[in-house]
Chain A
């Protein structure tokens, strides 16, 4: 079974609008971390936001917020006030385990296009 599922291959959003990118995960480990990365056309992987499985509140970083619904095993990324520079691939990822540098499992990504 896939550990990370991103069901939206592509999304479009009007500039200045908000957009939600979906991510569901599958793990039996009670301790895990969820990450979102952005990959622009230049190719680098840019860390956006992190949510720990025991965090009580949803993570926020500027215009990025993570809608964490533990019972549903979802970790959707919300981008508010979209900008043209937000056009990129977005990857959801999960680390299993409390500490230690365990590897990340990545989803297949969602390509976001911001329309002027």
Chain B
């Protein structure tokens, strides 16, 4: 199994540009999570999906952030327009739904730098 795949691994962009982060969950996993990690705030949940449906997006910072999951094998997190304070590592994680174990498997992360 390839694990959770994220792309790109690193992204450097200028303020005001649109940024799209991509995630492919582990095959068969029904739940997908987007987290953001910064030194100041640690690991924060942005949004999560069950069976491609957004369940909790209360962690999405503002309207500049949007996430989609058009099918079970792909999700995007978009920031438009980007700002320097969005610089962080963005993790995608997936988990099998309905399991009492519910370990979340994390992708390698995307390190975003907004200049």
Contacts and interface: CB of A to CB of B under 8 A. Distances in A.
Interface string B54-88: 00100000000000000000000000000000000
Interface string B26-52: 000011010000000011010010100
A45 B91 contact: yes
Given A46-B106, A52-B101, A100-B97, 13 more contacts: A33-B100, A35-B103, A43-B108, A43-B111, A44-B106, A45-B93, A45-B106, A91-B43, A101-B97, A103-B56, A104-B104, A105-B45, A106-B43
Contacts of A46: 106
A99 B102 contact: yes
A7 to B, nearest CB: 14
A47 interface: yes
Contacts of B108: 43-44
B48 A103 contact: yes
Contacts, number: 61
A33 B102 contact: yes
A50 interface: yes
B56 A33 contact: no
A44 B104 CA distance: 13
Q: How many of chain B's residues touch chain A, expressed as a range?
A: 20 to 34
Interface in A66-116: 91, 95, 98-109
B21 interface: no
- The number of chain A residues touching the other chain, given as a range, is 20 to 34
A99 B98 contact: yes
A60 to B, nearest CB: 16
Contacts of A98: 100
Nearest to A107: B42
B44 to A, nearest CB: 8
